[in-house]
Amino acid sequence: MVGGAVGVRRRCSAALTMETSCGALLSELELIWRDIGETEAEKDRMMMEIEKECKQIYKTKIDQANDARSHLRHTIAAKEADLSILKASLGDHTTTLPYASEEDMPLKAKLAVLAPHLEELQLEKRERARLLSEITLQIENINLDISGRCEDLKEEEDLSMRKINEYQEKLRTLQKDKSDRVCKVLEYVNEVHCLCGVLGMDFREKLDDVHPGLNDSNTPQTFTNISNNILEGLSRTIEKLKTEKKSRAFKLRELVELLDELWNLMNTQKQERRVFSKFTVVSSLSDDDITDSGVLSLESLRQVETEIKRLSELKAGRMKQLVFDKRMELVEICRWAHIEPDNSTTPEKINGLIDAGLVDPCQLLDNIENQIGKAREEFTSRKDIMEGVGKWISACEEEKWLEDYTQDDNRYRPGRGAHLNLKRAEKARITITKIPGIMNSLMNRIHAWEEKRSKPFIYDGDRLISVLEDYKLSRPQKEEENKRYRDQKKLQGRLDRSSIPTPKRSNSLGRRPSTSTNGSMGTTTPRRNSSGSSSSTTDHPFLTPRSRSYSGRTQRSSIATPLSFAGLLKGNIETMSSSFATSISVCSSSELDSPPPLH
């Protein structure tokens, strides 16, 4: 208000000054006209022209002032409109103007207040537009990486913070999606790398099959190939590689199993096996645990196949020898068990079948292994009876020795070792008294064994119970013959004493007693015969049935004289004792050898 009053005073002062100046000019003009001698009419006309010209000047100035005021009002209105638009675009919906509180403010003052405010809002708009443009560009780039196509976003007129925040939230969501996809791509790429390493494949070639750009990105920041197509391509590649890995792992396990079988069959040394140790270890792992580089490569599989081929070629030559070795093992077990081995696997038949290709050596080997198992079971079941047979054979040997000792006329002559023979004779008589009990116990065991298994107990080709029964029947006859022999000897002694003495005593029985150098029975005679000393033992007792059975059946026929019957019985006992001593002595407790181990 103060400023307005000052302006009015200034304008009044200017008017007074102008009025004074105009009066002075008119006075001067009056003097000039008077000097000229202008008439009053001419003076009035000229004054009218002056007044008219002054009015025209004032009018022109008024028009110019009106135009200036209109221009200012139009400018202010335009700027107010721009201000409203800027506020609306910036999210400010208020309509209050900066000078709303001063209604009488001059137009130029309003313009002076409005212009900087408008410029400030325009600057803020440009900043927000730049920020929104950057956000939009990032969104477009990420969409291009994810979808593989560029999605043009329309130019946004709304520059409010709400809209910018929406775009920023969208950008953060896309950035997180991109980060997740980058991690997924890296995970897939690493898995492809591991699988290619295990399978011995070219890693870069597999990536090129999916997308050539995967080989160009070395860091996660440069990864732009994160589209759905690339993820699906990597996933399909991984599935194919896993399928191939599973197939090769299965094949490797089969090859290693066959290789291990050939190693065991060929008795391959550990040093040779160590070359393929990594394959044997891998075969015991699950598919997911197989991570060694190149272990499932085609070259590795070919290496194992080559070794299998080499061993298979060696196997063909050595298989026959292995079969023969197993056959000899079977024969040895049968010899200890005193049973006959299966004649279908004799060396002659084995050689013919393998050479003719009529049988697989592996199947033949398995067949012999089964026979070995059955023979061991048979040996175990017969062990108790075999020990009883050994005791019986030992008693029979003692009986034969006592018989020879009794028939020796020089047994009472003093000499070196005579007292030992007397002690042995006493022990032999005690042992002979146990023979019936030993035989009864042995026969009971045999009967129980035969009833349990529903088959006869065969010993070296003969039924053992029949041999024992024949021996049991021959004992009374033998005792009777021994009694007759003693009676006959007594009678012969009486006849000798009643006849003329002769310087040399003759042996009417024609027997040649076995004497030692000092006239007595030898003490070093072994109680059992070895398998090599028996006259009835064959060179290979397992290829043909043994012919060492007791022949008591033929002894049941009538005999001409007591003496010949005694000799025949003695011969039979010698044959039987020699046969059983040869084959059963291995089961007695006094033998140094031991049977083969039972696995």
Q: What is the pLDDT of residues 547-563, one digit of tens each?
A: 333 333 333 333 222 33
Buried (b) or exposed (e) across 507-516, using 16+ Cβ within 10 A?
eeeeeeeebb
Q: What is the pLDDT of residues 349-379, one digit of tens each?
A: 888 887 777 887 878 888 888 988 888 888 8
- pLDDT, averaged across the chain: 75
Q: What residues pair up with 463 in beta bridges, in sequence order?
A: 458
Provide the token pair at 215. Answer: 């080989």
pLDDT level of residue 251 (50, 70, 90 thresholds): very high
H helices within 407-434, ranges in order?
A: 418-433
Question: What is the Cα–Cα distance from 3 to 9, expressed in whole angstroms?
Answer: 10
What are the φ/ψ torsions at residue 462 (nearest 5 degrees)? -115, 150
The answer to whether residue 585 scores a pLDDT higher than 70 is no
Q: What residues pair up with 459 in beta bridges, in sequence order?
A: 462
In Å, how far are 437, 444, 547 from 388, measured between CA atoms?
Answer: 11, 11, 21
Instruction: Write the DSSP assignment of 42-61 as a string of letters.
Output: HHHHHHHHHHHHHHHHHHHH
Question: What is the Cα–Cα distance from 339 to 371, expressed in whole angstroms?
Answer: 12
Is 592 or 338 the better-scoring residue by pLDDT? 338
At 568 the three-state DSSP class reads: helix
Instruction: Write the DSSP assignment of 271-296 as a string of letters.
Output: HHHGGGHHHHHHHTS-GGG---TTTT
pLDDT at residue 95, rounded to an integer: 62
Question: What is the Cα–Cα distance from 225 to 213, expressed in whole angstroms?
Answer: 7
How many C-beta atoms surround the C-beta of residue 355 within 10 A?
A: 9
Q: 340: which residues sit within 8 A by CB, 6+ positions away?
A: 334, 458, 460, 461, 542, 545
The answer to whether residue 565 scores a pLDDT higher than 50 is no
At 578 the three-state DSSP class reads: helix
Identity at 420, one-letter amino acid code: L
Whether 393 contacts 438, CB under 8 Å: no
Q: What is the pLDDT of residues 313-328, one digit of tens each?
A: 787 778 788 888 888 9
Domain ranges of the chain: 33-155, 163-251, 377-495+518-587
Q: What is the pLDDT of residues 471-494, one digit of tens each?
A: 888 888 888 887 887 788 788 877
How do the residues of the chain divide into helix, strand and coil, expressed in percent and rounded to 5? 70, 0, 25
At 463 the three-state DSSP class reads: strand
Instruction: Write the DSSP assignment of 171-183 as a string of letters.
Output: HHHHHHHHHHHHH
Percentage of the chain lying above the pLDDT 90 cut: 12
Instruction: Write the DSSP assignment of 188-237 as a string of letters.
Output: HHHHHHHHHHHHT--HHHHHHHH-GGGGT--SGGG-----HHHHHHHHHH
Q: 11: which residues sit within 8 A by CB, 6+ positions away?
A: none
Q: Give residue for tokens 């696997």.
A: 345
Question: What is the Cα–Cα distance from 21 to 15, expressed in whole angstroms?
Answer: 10
Q: How far apart are the first and last CA of the chain?
A: 129
Question: What is the Cα–Cα distance from 98 to 110, expressed in whole angstroms?
Answer: 9
Please tell me what DSSP assigns to residue 514: -
How many C-beta atoms surround the C-beta of residue 492 within 10 A?
A: 14
Question: What is the Cα–Cα distance from 531 to 546, expressed in whole angstroms?
Answer: 12
The answer to whether residue 536 scores a pLDDT higher than 50 is no
pLDDT at residue 548, rounded to an integer: 35
